A and B are shown apart, each in its own frame.
Chain A
Amino acid sequence: MSKVRIMTGNQAAAVGATLSGVQVVAAYPITPQSQLAEIMSQQIEGGKLKAEYVRVESEHSAMTVCISASTVGARVFTATSANGLLYMHEQLHWAAGARLPIVMCCVNRGVGAPWTIFNDQQDSLSQRDTGWLQIYCRNNQEILDTVIQAYRIAEKVYVPVMVCFDGFVLSHTMMPVYIPDAGAVRKFLPPYKPHTILSPEDPRNINPVLFPGRRENTEGVLCDGYMEMRYKLFAALDGARDVIIETDEAFAEAFGRRHGGMLWEYLTEDADVILTGIGSIASEATVAADLLREEGVKAGVVGIRVFRPFPKEDVRRALRKARAVVTFEKAVSYGYEGGLCSDLKAALYGTEVKAAVHGCIAGLGGRDVKARELAEAVKASLADIDDGRTEKTLWLNCFTG
């Protein structure tokens, strides 16, 4: 039977990892992830979870431990934030290239310099091209559920999954969370059965050097070159959409909760303008949409749950009736605009969806984001769009001189 507990996002993630029966945890403390690393060590030292905890000397090593432990067939877990994630960057590519089903929580925080410990999503969004699947959560229930879902997805498609949630906004905020029954979780997520493991019984040289071209093995079988292997990683992410949706559906069937698969929608059916964002800012946008509707603006929200693979079909469908879209992003691609804004426009380009897309950069380094401000930005964008201004990047609630 499931039970309800009041807990933080970090606790929810730890419960999710524990229920998933992770066998190796490696983590290095960083704000706002630290509590998650602490709880995992409590679970293991307290005998509530039978697993190895490697108290590594860096995040680079944390991911390396996960990579190697996963290579011998263990289910592994780690978590980090901000500069810790950036320090892992090399190993993020390695984990994905090695096709290991590692699950990591990224407790989103702004990156230095200058230092900030507060929330934005520059850390994980700047890891976009590492080959990881990225899922963003909007509340603590979704964090717990998504960690469990993430293992099922990762172990089906052999791609590592980053479960991202906003630092402090979720990581340190208490919310009621249903804890699923352990037996039901085991049924939903059976023990990890890897297709290949490194073992003395079947010696192999894993992740060796490759020539540019395809090459025959000693039996004369033509084997993949680097590019074929990289194509397969690309195809795995491209094809992960079905698995993500199927997993969310199977989860709903088992536990009675679904989180939207690739994205979730709020009042989009008749919406004239759609607010969109990733993570908790999209939750805030639902309050803004209510405010806008009170003022007669038909507003809706599309919350991007999965950022990679990008939900291109899903956004085309969700935005098909909208006249305008405003993205609210807690990250930016310096020298251009918000990455979500770019991706959305690219997904809509050349389709029948003709909505104008405006981008708002908001809440960097923990700058407060209020629903009222989102609503005002939407109204200003609508006015600009009526004036024929189809492109705009606004820094919300920021003194720009």
Chain B
Amino acid sequence: MPANLFKVNEKEYILPGSRACQGCGLSLAYRYMLKALRENTIVTLPACCLCVLQGMYPSTPVLVPALNNSFASTAASASGLVAGLQALDRSDITVVAMAGDGGTFDMGIQALSGAAERETDFIYVCYDNEGYMNTGTQRSSATPLGALTTTTPILTKQQHKKDFIKIVEAHDIPYLATVSPAYPIDLYDKFVKAKKIKGTRYIHIYAPCPPGWTYPPKDTVKMGRLAVETGVAVLFEVEDGKFRLTGRSKTLAERGNRLPVINYVEKQGRFRRMNIEQLNQLQAWVDRKWDEYIKRADQG
């Protein structure tokens, strides 16, 4: 059972009136993430959907202090906050760096790798909506095979998604977890746990995006669930090198009732040009990753 099922922080840190899109998966995740992290938190973020969510000067719907910085610099900005707070004897504050997949998989990778290698005491959060959604759905290295984007507008993306989590894990950080806004208690639990751990922590949010993925805004939770049900997104955590499936992914592994990816793909307009060969390739890729996770879960 999730640790915090009956004790989710009731306080809201995002007031009504954010500038995020209707049905934004990121907003939902951010809401629960901030509930878990509570007060005494500083967020640093680049130009991205989150920056838009945070509102236009001079108003913001978010009650947590936030620092906007340039695109490549999210994790370096966290390093600066940590160093500055340390110098001023304020190291009790939780520093969170949060960026999208473009600002993490692509442009932010150097700063993140550097900060993780330096064992910077912060939480890095990647909300992965699988493309440059803030600028209008361009291809990123997180975009899955067969997806239409505005820069793969005819042929669809020809390559698989980068397995970025493996790259992060190679830094031997004390805590790494994947979450989905469709499973808020699992998400909440992991942020509560991450807050208590020292060192670089990484949390990957698999964030459905109605305009970018082309599905009705009301279906965000459904899309998040289908991603997990099909194994496209896998919920797990790695604590001090120990791998553990969590929540729905754990149940799926135990029961062996994972759905085929077609159930997920057919619901999204971005896959409308996907051909059967790509569908098979995607299924094979998801199966291979899933098998790796199962093997690791068995090994513990």
Q: Which residues of A contact B (CB under 8 A)?
A: 23-24, 26, 51-52, 54-58, 60-61, 64-74, 76, 90-91, 94, 198-200, 202-211, 215-218, 223
Contact = CB atoms under 8 A, between A and B. Distances in A.
Nearest to B117: A57
Contacts of B252: none
A61 B111 contact: yes
A68 B64 contact: no
B41 interface: yes
A24 B86 CA distance: 9
A31 to B, nearest CB: 21
A203 B65 contact: yes
Interface stretch (B3-11, B55-63, B159-167): B55-63
B83 A57 contact: no
Contacts of A199: 42, 65, 90, 93
A311 B235 CA distance: 61
A54 B81 contact: no
Interface of B: 39-42, 44, 51-52, 54-60, 62-70, 72-73, 76-81, 83-88, 90, 93, 110-111, 113-114, 117-118
B209 to A, nearest CB: 19
B70 A91 contact: yes
Contacts of A61: 73, 76, 79, 110-111, 114
Contact of A51 (B66, B77, B87): B87
Contacts of B85: 72
A60 B72 contact: yes
B81 A57 contact: no
B79 A205 contact: no
B88 A198 contact: no
A200 B80 CA distance: 16
A65 B70 contact: no
A65 B83 contact: yes
B73 A60 contact: yes
Given A72-B85, A91-B70, A56 B65 contact: no
Contacts of A54: 79-80, 83, 118
Nearest to B43: A205
B42 A67 contact: no
A52 B88 CA distance: 10
Interface centre among B59, B72, B78, B80 (most CB of A within 10 A): B80
B63 A203 contact: yes
B60 A24 contact: no
A208 B81 contact: no
Given A68-B84, A203-B63, A58 B56 contact: no
Contact of B58 (A57, A65, A94, A223): A223
Given A69-B87, A208-B60, 19 more contacts: A24-B80, A54-B80, A57-B117, A66-B80, A70-B80, A70-B84, A71-B84, A72-B42, A91-B73, A198-B67, A199-B90, A203-B62, A203-B63, A204-B60, A205-B57, A206-B67, A207-B67, A207-B68, A215-B56
